[in-house]
Structure 1
Amino acid sequence: MNDHIAVDIGASSGRLVHGRLEQGKLVLQELHRFANGFQRKGNHDYWDIEQLFQQILIGLRKAKQAGIDRCTLGIDTWAVDYVLLDDQGERLHDVYAYRDARTNGAPDQLHQHITREAVYSKTGIQELPFNTLYQLYVHDDKQLKEAAQILYIPDYLYYRLTGKRMNEATNASTSQMIHLATGQYDDELLELVGVRREQFAPLIEPGATLGPLQSSLQQSGELPHCECIVVPTHDTASAVVGVPAAESIPWAFISSGTWSLLGMELQQPLHDERAMALNYTNERGAYNTFRFLKNIMGMWMIQEVRRLQNNEYSFAELVELAAKEQPFQSLVRCNDTRFLNPEHMIQELQDYCRERGQAVPQTAGAIARTIFDSLALTYYDYMNELEQLTGRKPEVLHIVGGGANNGLLCQLTADLIQREVKAGPTESTAIGNLVVQLIACGKLDGVTEARSLIADSFDVVSYGPRGQDKLEQVLQRWRNLEG
């Protein structure tokens, strides 16, 4: 097949992207884009999972209308959230969003029964209150016992398309329940949260073929004939495959979207005491790699600010306004849990600055500048930690995803880390999804060839480091902020 479709769904939007090889380059066409976001129902936040499935079908109808009769298809989404199925394969519950407050305090409760050190030694996964381990720990016991199957979000969407059930490995690894040594679910952790191994579907590696769409979906003739291929279903895992890195040059990455994931691709996990103390994670990547990385709050903060301003400004306009402001006037610790899901992000940012005797940002430009300056300083901190933990000094930092469009933030980052930043491609997640399909089809030999293809196919903007006036004073103010 010459046509390949990536279903790429993030926490704020989703898209179906068509890709094909033309004259030695990968050419993309967006077929369908749609909004996503969790919704408050009663006292909890939920995803509209059925709407996401319907949007996939809408995108496939558009593909058929565009003349795509046969294609491969892969799905990636965010991680950690899950769906429980009953004996008939029907969904048991509304799907909780990971930012829901039900897991507040869950880590402390669970670790009364097993130490944090023991869990990290087993899994190598950083402690985040919304990891699947903690979500299942607070899930209704009766409903958990009723569940015949536990699928993660992209697994469920594959299931709805193909009728096949599986847990894809890169996504499952983020659950904090997969043992590093065995690559399988850890029985002790499953027992602690009240689930059984047989409730999970078989673990599948990227590159496997699931087969065609269910016949019930094909009867109308409105959809293309899709051969579904398992890609790295965790969007960050696909994004890292989509980094146009030269293997001969040491590199690090930031996958910049709702979250900023900063890390390196390693061949072996790194889960010693220092890595645990600094809360770094070892998520499985495609093709027997590990993504050793740190979660950073990312563009979520500016997304919320924009929403609260009734989308008066585009993201590009917010960057332009921020660039006109004086740098480093107000700073916030982006990974403070108060910014995870506040009632009012702008108020939370302002309160943080006020509490620490800083200038309180009022205008859209000043608020955006506070976020971008603080993110760049956060990247600076974690790049230093990453080097110390791995003993490696990357020559290049690749920023991929939507945040690569933010030239101000990319330049600030280059200035602070004092090395080259390469920004782009912005659609790295969909691209990584697509090249895994191409590898599975035998059109590419492996990741090295895929990354070379990506570098030849898409524009990348390079930002060289510049000198920064009064940088030491800025860093001292930054260090003095409470973590």
Structure 2
Amino acid sequence: MKVFLAVDLGAGSGRVLAGRTDFESLELEDVHRFENPATDLPGGLVWNPVGLHREILHGLRLAVRKYGDRIAALGIDTWGVDFALLDAQGRLLGLPHQYRDPRTDGMEEECERRFGNARIYASTGIMPFFLNTSHQLVAEAVRGGAALTHASHLVMMPDLFAYWLTGRIMVERTNASTTQLFSPATNDWAWDVIEGLGLPRRIFGEVVAPGTPLGELRPEVAAEVGGRFPVIATATHDTAAAVAGIPGEGNYAFLSSGTWSIIGAELPEPILTDEAFTVGWANELGVEGTTRFLRNISGGWLFQECQRHWAGEGEELSFDELSALAGDAEAFTAFVDPDHDDLASPGNMPSKIAEFCRRTGQPVPASKGSILRVAVESIALKHRIRFRQLRDLTGRDLDRIHMGGGGSRNTLLTQAIADACQTPVHAGPVEATACGNLIVQMVATGDLPDIAAGRRLIARAEPPKIFEPQRPESWNEPAARFAALLKTDD
């Protein structure tokens, strides 16, 4: 069996996984897991890329010891929007900022003043959002940051690690498309936007398609890890990898469920209409020339922040325990907007949920279960709104939702989404991002003919679990209350 390695970095943790396959079956094995905390320094909220590189090398050493020359390739995926700046010699200029760093406060208005957010959308298909790469770069320009002044190259986070492994500087297309500085129509940087925002052209370099071979490990790296193998620019944006790894066919909506819940559809062309802009849908690029027409919902974030807060108070609760508490609580007592600014930042999330309910004149949840139940039902009802928008904007009769990622383990939430959307949900794989990363590599090496074959391989390895709607009509009245709440609390 051949072995393909996936480095999967999230905004909180990372891992090196191995996919063992004979191309009829696929087995995933954890090789190394590690933490990826952001650090709040005097200069802002930043990542530690050198520490992450060290963890990646350790994972590769472990993989080489275990699998030896069976390793066929390596691919790296991370979250989107965050980036590093390099000088002309390829040296890192400062620590990359974390996307929640507050330096982007006011940058949506600054981008509107410099170029216009509707014009930016018409070129890039990406909505204005505080975490966008464009907003981060404009913030650097406004404050006269030394790193931007001296930079020669911008690389996204997975591209930084690929560069350190191979010596090749490039940006992979799926991650470039998250920047709000890339045109899905031309498959090139959106030069009109870059110039209009006053950003230096020189830092925007070569863009490569997902599946592009980047070369083998540098000799120094190969000596350190004990082996040498090629690195593939997989679908380096974790959502693009997750969508590639969701085994859907026909008229379906994809749902990548993790910290963010991301719902959308794969399309042959972007949708850059005024209507799509008005209701906030984005166009990111996928594998095999597709557009991922999508909308973010702050999903697992609410659960994770509640879990983190209670752990800080000395009560460690597993994901299954949280789901059980929510399942035992009374239904449809109150709702929050999962995407409201008041719930977007880290902190005491149970208190924030309770305060939202109090401020909007709803019953205030007091127990852990009732707080979690409010979160689950609110997330499901937000999916209902977005799913219906998706059908309207694409003109497609989407007859099911294919859900991948860690959220697919939450059976309470998955069933709630099926009920609220009145549509079957096919759940799995849990490791959609890793699976997508791996099959893009397999296509690149010629071991699989296309992504469709890779998706069939994934479905054989982990057949989706189907959640049919149960009493979906019971969600109609709560949905009306939820919609009214959003209108009054915009």
> Normalising by the residue count of structure 2, what TM-score does the alignment of the two structures yield?
0.95
Give the deviation of 1:63 after TM superposition.
Answer: 0.6
Once the 2 structures are TM-superposed, how far is the Cα of residue 25 of structure 1 from its aligned partner? 0.9
Amino acid at match of 1:414: A
Shift of 1:268: 0.6
Q: What is the SS of the residue equivalent to 1:127?
A: coil
Q: How does 1:323-342 map to 2 (within 5 A)?
A: 323-342=327-346
- Contact preservation (8 Å) 2:3, 2:18: yes
Structure 2 residue identity aligned to 1:244: P
2:58 is equivalent to residue 61 of structure 1? no
Amino acid aligned to 2:466: S
Q: Distance in 1 between matches of 2:112 and 2:317?
A: 44
Provide the C-alpha distance between the structure 2 equivalents of 1:100 and 1:32, rounded to a whole number of angstroms.
28
From 429, 432, 456, the counterpart of 2:436: 432
- Does 1:453 pair with 2:457? yes
Task: In structure 2, give the amino acid aligned to 1:278.
Answer: V
Q: Does 1:37 align with 2:37?
A: yes
Q: Contact 1:84/1:92 (CA < 8 Å) preserved in 2?
A: yes
What pairs up with 1:47-196 in 2 under 5 angstroms?
Answer: 47-69=47-69, 70-139=71-140, 140-141=143-144, 142-196=146-200
Tell me what 2:262 maps to.
Answer: 261
Aligned length, in residue pairs? 480
For residues 180 and 242 of structure 1, the distance between their equivalents in structure 2, rounded to whole angstroms, comes to 21
Conserved in 2, the CA contact under 8 Å of 1:63 and 1:224?
no
Whichever residue aligns with residue 20 of structure 2, its letter is R
Give CA-to-partner distance per residue, 1:107-136, whole Å, 9 cap, x none.
Answer: 111211222221111111122111111110
Range with bigger deviation, 144-153 or 192-201:
192-201
Q: Which residue of 1 aligns with 2:374?
A: 370
Counterpart Cα distance in 2 of 1:321 and 1:223: 48
Q: Is contact 2:181-2:190 (8 Å) kept? A: yes
Query: 1:367-419 CA deviation, whole Å, 9 max, x = no partner?
Result: 22111111100100100110110111211101100000000011011111112
- C-alpha distance in 1, partners of 2:288/2:37? 31
Following superposition, the deviation at residue 282 of structure 1 comes to 0.5
Q: Which runs of 5+ in 1 are unaligned?
A: none
Q: Which amino acid aligns with 2:57?
A: L
- Give the match's secondary structure for 2:287: coil
How far apart are residue 100 of structure 1 and its match? 1.2
Please list every run of at least 4 consecutive aligned residues from structure 1 whose deviation after the TM superposition is greater than 4 angstroms.
none
- Which digits, 9 at most, give the CA deviation of each residue in 1:198-248, with x for residues without a partner? 31230000111111111111224x3332210110100000001101112xx
Aligned residue type for 1:238: A
Find the aligned partners of 2:10 and 2:346 in 1 and give their Cα distance: 20
Counterpart Cα distance in 1 of 2:246 and 2:33: 22
1:49 counterpart letter in structure 2: P
Q: 2:415 aligns with which of 406, 411, 415?
A: 411
> 1:21 Cα shift?
1.6
Residue 468 of structure 2 aligns with which residue?
Answer: 464
Distance across 1 between alignment mates of 2:207 and 2:164: 18
3-state SS of the aligned residue for 2:54?
helix
Match in the other structure for 1:226: 229
What's the offset of the Cα at 1:195?
Answer: 2.9
Residue aligning to 1:237? 240
Cα displacement (A) at 1:342:
4.1
CA distance in 2, matches of 1:259, 1:421: 18
Matched, 1:207 2:211: yes
Cα separation, partners in 2 of 1:35 and 1:363, compared to 1, 3 Å: farther
Distance 1:191 1:471 in 2: 48
Deviates more, 1:466-475 or 1:81-90: 466-475
Pairing 1:386-401 to 2, within 5 Å after superposition: 386-401=390-405
How far off its partner does 1:159 sit? 0.6
The answer to whether the 8 A contact 1:177-1:189 is kept is yes
- Using the alignment, how far apart are the partners of 2:78 and 2:259 within structure 1? 12
Shift of residue 93 of structure 1? 1.1
Output one character per residue of 1:286-325: Cα deviation in whole Å (capped at 9) or x when no partner.
1100000001111111111111111610111100111001
> Using the alignment, how far apart are the partners of 1:471 and 1:418 within structure 2?
9
Match of 2:482 in 1: 478
Q: Is the 8 A contact 2:405 2:431 kept in 1?
A: yes
Task: Give the structure with the higher percent helix.
Answer: 2
Matching residue within 354, 361, 367 for 1:350: 354
Do the aligned residues in 2 keep the contact of 1:68 with 1:224 (CA within 8 Å)? yes
Residue 469 (structure 1) shift: 6.3
Give the drift of 1:53.
1.1
Is contact 1:144-1:194 (8 Å) kept? no
CA contact (8 A) 1:284 1:290 kept: yes
CA shift at 1:154, angstroms? 0.5
Which stretch of structure 1 is more off in the superposition, 437-446 or 357-366? 357-366
Tell me, what secondary structure is at the counterpart of 1:112?
Answer: helix
Alpha-carbon distance between aligned partners in 2 of 1:471 and 1:259, rounded to the nearest angstrom: 23
**Per-residue deviation at 1:194?**
3.5
Structure 1 distance, partners of 2:448, 2:401, is: 25
Asked if the contact 2:184/2:284 (under 8 Å) is kept, the reply is no
1:283 aligns with 284
Residue 7 of structure 2: aligned partner:
7
Q: Which runs of 5+ in 2 are unaligned?
A: none
Give the AA of the match of 2:303. I
